[in-house]
């Protein structure tokens, strides 16, 4: 069973929190929110740690670089 990632962002209408099943999906949705004008975008990992988008994306890039 995959534990979910949560993507949170704020825009002029308020705050939205969306669930994604994997890290790649969470980063993709976070970038979409950013492109749509949202701010304060964060990704909560399955272990409950909260990361700003740039930090989470950097961790994912570093993780995939060590796997190659």
pLDDT in tens, 19-67: 999 999 999 999 999 999 999 999 999 999 999 999 998 988 888 777 7
Burial class (CB in 10 A: 0-12, 13-18, 19+), 62: exposed
CB 53 within 8 A of CB 41: yes
Give Cβ neighbours of residue 4 (< 8 Å, ≥ 6 apart).
19, 20, 21, 46
**Helix or strand (DSSP H, E) at 34:** helix 23-35
pTM value > 0.85: yes
């Amino acid at each position: 069973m995959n534990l979910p990632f949560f993507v949170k962002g704020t825009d002029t209408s308020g705050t939205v929190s969306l669930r994604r099943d994997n890290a790649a999906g969470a980063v993709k949705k976070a970038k979409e929110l950013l492109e749509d004008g949202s701010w304060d975008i964060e990704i909560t990992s399955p272990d409950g740690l909260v990361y700003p988008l740039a930090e989470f994306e950097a961790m994912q890039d570093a993780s995939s670089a060590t796997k190659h």
